[in-house]
Chain A
Amino acid sequence: GAVVSQHPSRVICKSGTSVKIECRSLDFQATTMFWYRQFPKQSLMLMATSNEGSKATYEQGVEKDKFLINHASLTLSTLTVTSAHPEDSSFYICSAKSRLAGGVETQYFGPGTRLLVL
């Protein structure tokens, strides 16, 4: 249980175009999902917290108009990188909170999306 998928796994786009990344919780409902960005050999940096049915909460320094987040259902959150530029090239990973038996909450990560902007 607690499987999180992401699509696409890899995308190459031209500078100036927009790219949408989907994050799905496959076997559980996630009221909260998180979007991270990871540069090579670096840690995961939280970009935003995505809450179902409400606006996302962005971390300091992350442009909400640049990185659009939509959490339309309890199993799907999307991240759209608008007008992508080469500096947006990175590994984007989502995670979703799952409440296990006993009421314990744990975060499970998606497989990540590698974005390359030419």
Chain B
Amino acid sequence: GENVEQHPSTLSVQEGDSAVIKCTYSDSASNYFPWYKQELGKRPQLIIDIRSNVGEKKDQRIAVTLNKTAKHFSLHITETQPEDSAVYFCAATKEVTGGGNKLTFGTGTQLKVEL
């Protein structure tokens, strides 16, 4: 089955700096890679995702890059703000039309943006 590794486990940055979280996956058949943000005691919220037909996707201060050859993908947050502080999870799955498409999650990164 799929195995997703995520680094770092904790990340502390100064407000305004950039933050980068990296994930690797094992199954070359995986083709969908979402990123979730989870605040303490709350539900994971989808913040951005990427499919294997593109190498990069950007949404305002958030971007995700995908390297299919190396089987790794990264989340980039620019101009970090205190409200970006949360746990971030990467995930991977092989999307199949009508299939279960269960996600395999990384272990999470606790991001802290300091004033």
- Chain A residues proximal to chain B, CB less than 8 Å: 4, 32, 34, 41-46, 49, 51, 57, 91, 93, 97, 105-112, 114
Which A residue sits closest to B107, measured CB to CB?
A: A43
Q: How many residues of B contact A (CB 8 A)?
A: 21
Which residues from chain A contact B100 at a C-beta distance below 8 Å? 32, 49, 51, 57
A85, B108: Cα distance in complex, Å:
27
B102 near A112 with CB under 8 A, answer no
A42 near B95 with CB under 8 A, answer no
Which B residue sits closest to A57, measured CB to CB?
A: B100
List B64-115 residues whose CB lies under 8 Å from chain A. Answer: 89, 95, 100-108, 110
A26, B101: Cα distance in complex, Å:
21
**Does more than half of chain A's interface fall in helix, strand or loop, or is it mixed?**
strand
- Chain B residues proximal to chain A, CB less than 8 Å: 34, 36, 41-46, 49, 89, 95, 100-108, 110
A79, B101: Cα distance in complex, Å:
20
Question: Given that A42-B108, A44-B89, A44-B105 are contacting pairs, would A105 and B42 also be in contact in the complex, using a CB cutoff of 8 Å?
Answer: no
B43 near A112 with CB under 8 A, answer yes
**Does more than half of chain B's interface fall in helix, strand or loop, or is it mixed?**
loop
Which residues from chain A contact B105 at a C-beta distance below 8 Å? 43-45
Which A residue sits closest to B89, measured CB to CB?
A: A43
Which residues from chain A contact B41 at a C-beta distance below 8 Å? 91, 112, 114
A107, B46: Cα distance in complex, Å:
8
A111 near B106 with CB under 8 A, answer no
Which residues from chain B contact A41 at a C-beta distance below 8 Å? 108, 110
Which residues from chain A contact B108 at a C-beta distance below 8 Å? 41-43
A110, B42: Cα distance in complex, Å:
9
A106 near B43 with CB under 8 A, answer no
A104, B101: Cα distance in complex, Å:
12
A31 CB to nearest B CB, Å: 8
A46 near B43 with CB under 8 A, answer no
Which B residue sits closest to A48, measured CB to CB?
A: B102
